[in-house]
Each structure stands twice: as C-alpha cells, then as structure tokens.
Amino acid sequence: MAQHSGSKELRSRLRVAPGRGPLDLTAYDSSDTPGSPGGKRRTLAATEAMRPRLAELQQRLYAQSTAGDPRRLLVVLQGMDTSGKGGTVKHVATGLNPTGVRVRTFKAPTEEERAHPFLWRIRKALPDAGEIGVFDRSHYEDVLVVRVRALAPRATWSDRYDVINRFEQSLVDDGFTLLKVFLHIGYEEQRERLLARLDRPSKHWKFDPQDIADRALWPAYQEAYAAVLERCSTDAAPWYVVPADRKWYRNWAVGTLLLQHLEMIGPAYPKAAFDVPGNRAKLLRT
C-alpha cells in the first residue's frame, strides 16, 4: 500500500537515531516539508484521506483491550510556545472516537505536584489499555523549562534524562507504544504567531507576556531541546523532529506517524468468547 510505505519512509526521515551524538537544531529547517505527498492542497487531502484508517485502527485498539490486551499508545508533544501542540491535538484527534482518547495538558506544576517526584503527575495521567493518550507538554518540561530557567539545581535535572529513559522503558514493558514528537518552529515564525495572538482579542487568552521574555532565552531552549533529543531518543521510545512552520505539513506528518505507530501495534478485533449461533437463537426468542 503506497500510503503505508510512505509513512515508513517518513518515520526514518524524521526519527532521531538513538545514540547519534551531538545534534544541532539550527541544521533542521523548520519550514521544510520532508516526505509530504505534495504541496499544501495535496497534503491536506492526504490528511483527510487517512482519517477512516486511523478511526478503524483506534476502534480495534479499544476493542482488543476489552479482551484483556494491555496495549495502548501515548503521544508526547513538545515544542516552543506557539509551535502548535494544541492545534496538532485538535486536528489529529478529529475523527477519532473521543471515548478512547485522553488528552492531558501539563502546565506549571501546582504546589501539590511540586511536593512529589516529577513523574508523579505523569503517572496519574497515563492512558488505560486500549486508549490513545496525548500529552501536550510532559515530563520533558522537567529538563526543559526547569533547566533553562534554573528552577532546580543542575544536579537535580541532569539525572532526569536517565530517569526518563528508564521510566519510558518501563511503560513499553507494560504494553505502551510511545510516539514522541518535537514540533520544531523557527524564531521568526514564532514572532508572527505571537503577533497574531495579540491582534485578535479572541486569542488574547492564549498570550502570556512571559512568552516574549522567553524569546530572549531561545538559544538556551534550543540547546535544552537538543539535549533531550540526544539523550532521550532510545530504541524503546525514539524522538521525531517535525518541522512545524507549515501547519498543513505538521498535521499530515503527525497524523502519518500516528497511523504508522498504530499499524506497528497491529490491533485486531477479539474473537467472540461466546457461542454466536446459540446466542442468536436465544435472542430471537426474546
């Protein structure tokens, strides 16, 4: 199937090879569209075209969990402000059955959350068997904003890369498939998107003056992201870098990766554990 092999190719193009060594994000073009089926129009059409297959695979994943299959999918979205994490959730989840989707947005930790180890709030938000979980920000904030803004001493956050790798390995051991996506936008594109928020009163609620201050820390953030990609792209749970300046490309790429990861799981409807003709006859007598 053309789409299937296309998505396989995309996977290898966007994947950060585990153990690849130093990574320089400035070498990644955030406006690129690697592997896309064409320009904007054709890519939008391809995104629509994959929805029925996504919905079918999701239903099978959910169905097989009712027969005790522990498998589930967790999508982790990270990226700078305005990189489109929320927009990606909205577009990719459209057409999925909301009963099997669990979206969790992680904001600055509450006082209660800060009183616990950093993975505490993450563990509470994990998807159940059969579900697709989506994290808009995640445990990676604890080696991103925490590192850049020095919210914890280096000795604390520098241990967390290994802690995260072990945590994710344990999730995979439990039947999770992880899809970790870094939405990569450019410095100029972020300014445009922040301006758009300021220029539309219905978008003011999305704006935080802090976002401007954070732009001064852009190089430090890019460095922190590079460290995440270098140290936490593992065989068990690799990272994918998705160029995100073009929303139509971003939605297609994340949708394609999601589809491809569901195909890797290969969920199947469970066989009936009851006598079908017998129940049919019985039902007709009611």
133 strand-pairing partners: 74, 102
Residue 58 or 233: the one with the smaller Cβ distance to its own copies is 58
Min CB(155)–its own copies separation in Å: 32
DSSP state at residue 270: P
Q: Are 286 and 278 in contact (CB under 8 A)?
A: no
SS3 (DSSP) at 1: coil
Q: Nearest-CA neighbor of 75 among 39, 104, 54?
A: 104
Min CB(271)–its own copies separation in Å: 7
Axis crossing angle, helix 160-173 with helix 218-232, rounded to the nearest 10: 50
Residue 16 or 103: the one with the smaller Cβ distance to its own copies is 103
Q: Nearest-CA neighbor of 74 among 133, 128, 11, 126?
A: 133
Residue 153 or 277: the one with the smaller Cβ distance to its own copies is 277
Min CB(283)–its own copies separation in Å: 5
Q: Could you give the CA distance from residue 1 to residue 6 in angstroms, rounded to a whole number?
A: 9
**Contact residues for its own copies (CB under 8 A)?**
63-64, 66-67, 86, 89-90, 93-99, 101, 103, 105, 134, 136, 191, 194-195, 198-199, 201-202, 204-207, 209, 212, 215-216, 269-272, 274, 276, 279-280, 282-284, 286
Residue 22 or 209: the one with the smaller Cβ distance to its own copies is 209
Min CB(233)–its own copies separation in Å: 26
